[in-house]
Structure 1
Amino acid sequence: MVTSELENSKIETVSTSNNMALNNGLSQNNVQSQSDDKHFSYFSLYIVFQIIGLLLIFAVGFWIFVFRGGVGFSESKIIFNWHPLLMTIGFVYLFANSILHYRTFRHKNKRDLKNQHAIIHGCIIILILLAGWASFASHLYNNPPIPNLYTLHSWLGVVTILMFLSQFIGGFMSFLYPGIAVQYREAIMPYHVFFGVFNFALVIATSLLGLCEKLIFSLKDEYRTFPNEGLFGNFIGLLFMVFGGLVVFMVTKPEYKRHSKPEDSMLLSQGSE
């Protein structure tokens, strides 16, 4: 009887262990399945995001070359056309890609992601400076010269650029420059993320305002007659809106967030983040 009870106890123990292992396996499979579904959902949206972003650049280029005379350095109107083209490439498309960089390449080493994030922002700054030069130069070389910084678009543009530069400097000092205490990095991060998204929203708003301003200044009374350029310009505005909304959705959805890895903590402790 004692032997039988011991054998039954062993059988129950083995059965319980097998059930626990089976349940753990099913649980891990469910977690993995949910993770795969989230990744598939994100990258499906990422493909749409890239298509809309490239279409936006193409649409702005088409508008400039077909309706606005192209780009160049021969006269003020042609010089100005560099401004919307470079701003769209740098301040809209590249900025959006830099915001989503961590979520898109979530399996990469975080140190590499940080360096790439900073490099993209450096390229954006170069394009912003060239675009700003195009705007000021076109006003200066116009006959008669056009005053600078008198429109709401220009005011918002200055605020948006200064905020971006502040984000870049603050991010570099906080997350790339060694020697900052871990608790300060962790405290700063939520604000860095929030102001980054807010900055991008300002970029979209400023772009829409500048596009509308350019159409009104260029077409004047003809704008109300539904000309081809006016309709195409409105279409570009809708692309800006859809692109901006998609980026904000992707960067604020918790399920798409990059999860921390063990090496991330090592980077923090070593002052390499």
Structure 2
Amino acid sequence: MGKGTFDEIGSTRVTLQWFSIMVLSSQVVGVLAIILLAVLFGQYRGGFGWTVKFNYHPLFMTLGMVFFYGDAILAYRVFRDVKKLRVKILHGSLLALSFIFSTIGLKAVFDNHNFANPPKANLYSLHSWVGLTAVILFAAQWVCGFVSFLFPKLSEDLRKAYMPSHKFWGKAIFLLAIGAVLMGITEYSIFYKIYNNNDVDYQRHLICFFGVFVLIFAGIVLYLVSNPGYQRPPDNEIEHVPLAD
């Protein structure tokens, strides 16, 4: 029995160490993706300013719908020993921050099209359709989650009934956002002939590494929230029903 207990504790330690490594890795690759995008548009594609509003679009959409959204999904895994209400507030706040960045990103691209001379068409590509759908679904998901789990908060039976849908759509919208971001940077590269211009091959490399890091970040987030071994321990539950993920 003693040997079994030791093995179980040792296994738990290894599991939590691996969990910590994966969480840290997700933050490293996520930050690297943001840095690469900032360097690409800030250094080589016109910089950031009121006269080049579009460049805010890819940066803010990635910050909102990828990085902060992914961190919000991970909140219940990372802060496993923190009081549930505090994690709820953190989770909701990160999602609100995601929506703010995404809204600014959308305004940047619409302003860029509408105030161009002559004006450019809006919502003409698959990327724009998928991206706008992801933001709309994200906003609806946040409102439903806030009302159901934070304030005014539904009854326990209703929360239990809604929870599977909340979990599913949380991950589905995240995947939709990842697809939109990758389609967007690819569309931009094709439109501005970055892929077939050897004079800007360094920009092509930045874009490729950015895409790889976004995929790695998304993969780690989904792995951590899909692994039952990393769920918040039942002893740490303040309520019977977790908020998400």
- TM-score for the superposition, normalised by structure 2: 0.91
Instruction: State which of 49, 64, 89 in structure 1 corresponds to 2:41.
Output: 64
SS at match of 1:156: helix
Q: Does 1:54 align with 2:26?
A: no
**Aligned equivalents of 1:262, 1:243: Cα separation in 2:** 27
Match in the other structure for 1:43: 20
- The Cα of 1:163 is off from its aligned counterpart by 1.0
Which is bigger in relative contact order (C-alpha 8 A, separation at least 6)?
2
**Aligned equivalents of 1:159, 1:193: Cα separation in 2:** 18
Residue by residue over 1:152-208, the C-alpha shift from the partner in whole angstroms, topping out at 9 and shown as x without a partner, is 111001110111011101101111124522121112112211111111111110000
- The Cα of 1:263 is off from its aligned counterpart by 4.9
**Aligned equivalents of 1:52, 1:206: Cα separation in 2:** 19
- The Cα of 1:149 is off from its aligned counterpart by 0.7
**Aligned equivalents of 1:225, 1:69: Cα separation in 2:** 18
- The Cα of 1:117 is off from its aligned counterpart by 0.6
SS at match of 1:71: coil
Match in the other structure for 1:239: 213
**Aligned equivalents of 1:189, 1:38: Cα separation in 2:** 26
Match in the other structure for 1:184: 158
- TM-score for the superposition, normalised by structure 1: 0.82
Structure 2 portions without partners, runs of 5+ = none
Match in the other structure for 1:107: 81
- The Cα of 1:257 is off from its aligned counterpart by 1.3
Instruction: State which of 220, 231, 234 in structure 2 corresponds to 1:257.
Output: 231
Q: Does 1:117 align with 2:94?
A: no
Q: Which amino acid aligns with 2:38?
A: G
Instruction: State which of 223, 234, 254 in structure 1 corresponds to 2:195.
Output: 223
**Aligned equivalents of 1:178, 1:133: Cα separation in 2:** 31
Aligned-pair identity (%) = 32
Q: Does 1:79 align with 2:53?
A: yes
Match in the other structure for 1:157: 131
Distance 1:179 1:127, change over 3 A: closer
- The Cα of 1:262 is off from its aligned counterpart by 6.0
Structure with higher Rg: it is 1
Q: Which amino acid aligns with 1:80?
A: F
Structure 1 portions without partners, runs of 5+ = 1-22, 269-273
* Greater mean alpha carbon deviation, residues 240-249 or residues 80-89: 240-249
**Aligned equivalents of 1:88, 1:262: Cα separation in 2:** 32
**Aligned equivalents of 1:180, 1:32: Cα separation in 2:** 38
- The Cα of 1:88 is off from its aligned counterpart by 1.4
